[in-house]
Structure formats: structure tokens, C-alpha cells
Amino acid sequence: MILCLGPTGAGKTLLLKRLQGKEIVDVTSSTVPTVGTTLTNVRFGNNKEVTIREVGGAMAPIWNNYFAGVKKIIYVVDASNLCQIAAAGILLYTILADPTVQNAKVLLVLSKMDASYRQMRNEALLMLQLSRLQREISQVVTVVETSAVTGAGTDKVLKWIQGALPSASTSK
């Protein structure tokens, strides 16, 4: 099972819709905050299907109830909302400190890159203290920039899910 986590409004639902099929998302797409969990099936060209469980940001206090058996975690952060990034970092650290997911691979998705300026990526990584974090944790963290609206970077998310994107990379 793959978990998709992140603060409320980070772009998890729209990202998962984009991963399901390019025609589903456009500039008029909107979502409502996920309350509870949602299962999304993502198909690949080789007739392989992966189920991703999105757990709403409002459920952060009980995310750890979903960690059993998780091999991969997609953690989505809204890179265009610098006010939210510090809180997102605390949530990320809480996840990574949980012994249940010590062997899980983690994909840090900087979402909404179409709505942010180039420097925001660097500011987001600084605010998340990613360099320090990677020295202190056992998990492999891969960083990918995406835009669910334009589709930019979603191919890298699909490659990571399939295991084809090199671990611990920073993809632009």
C-alpha cells in the first residue's frame, strides 16, 4: 500500500486525479478537502495497477493508524504557500520518526509549482530543513516538483511509484 499524506489544501487529491489520467484535470478543476480516506487506483501501461490511499490533512493526528504495512509514502506540500510549509515540516518529521515506517521510501512532492515562483522551491526546502532531515533519518527521501494542473513532474511521480526514479534524487 502507498499512502498519500500532507496538510489540508496541499494538492493531494488533484495530484492523484492527474495520476489517474491526464484528461481528468485542467485549470477549471477544483476539489474539496478530503475528510477520511480515499482509495485511488493508478494504472500503468503494462497493465499494472497500484492503489494509493489518501488520508485527509485534517486526520493528521491519526495518520499513524494507517502506517502498518506501508512501503511508500507520498508526502505533498504546497510550495506556493510558504505560510503552510513550517507546519508541513512538523507533520513530515512526525511521520518519519514513527518506527512503523522506518523502512518506507518517501516521496516529497512540492506541488502547485505552476502557482509559485522559482525561488519558492529553494525557500520551501530551506524551511523544511531537508538537508538536516536527510542526515538524521533512515528513510530515503526523494523530492519532486509537480503541478497537477499542467501535469509537470507527474511523470516523475509515476516513475517513483513504479520504482524507476532513482532514490534520494531532487527532480526539477
Give residue 125's domain range. Answer: 2-171
Residue 138 CB contacts under 8 Å (≥ 6 apart), including other chains: 102, 103
Average pLDDT of the chain to the nearest whole number: 85
Using DSSP's 3-state secondary structure scheme, residue 54 falls into strand
Return the CATH number at 84: 3.40.50.300
The answer to whether the pTM exceeds 0.85 is yes
Beta bridge partners of 78: 111
Sort 93 into a burial class: Cβ within 10 Å, 0-12 / 13-18 / 19+. Answer: middle
User: pLDDT by residue (tens digit) across 107-144?
Assistant: 999 988 776 666 667 777 778 888 788 888 888 889 99
Query: How many other C-beta atoms lie within 10 A of the C-beta of residue 81?
Result: 20
Beta bridge partners of 108: 75, 143
Counting the structural domains of the chain, the total is 1
Name residues of the chain where pLDDT drops below 50: 170-172
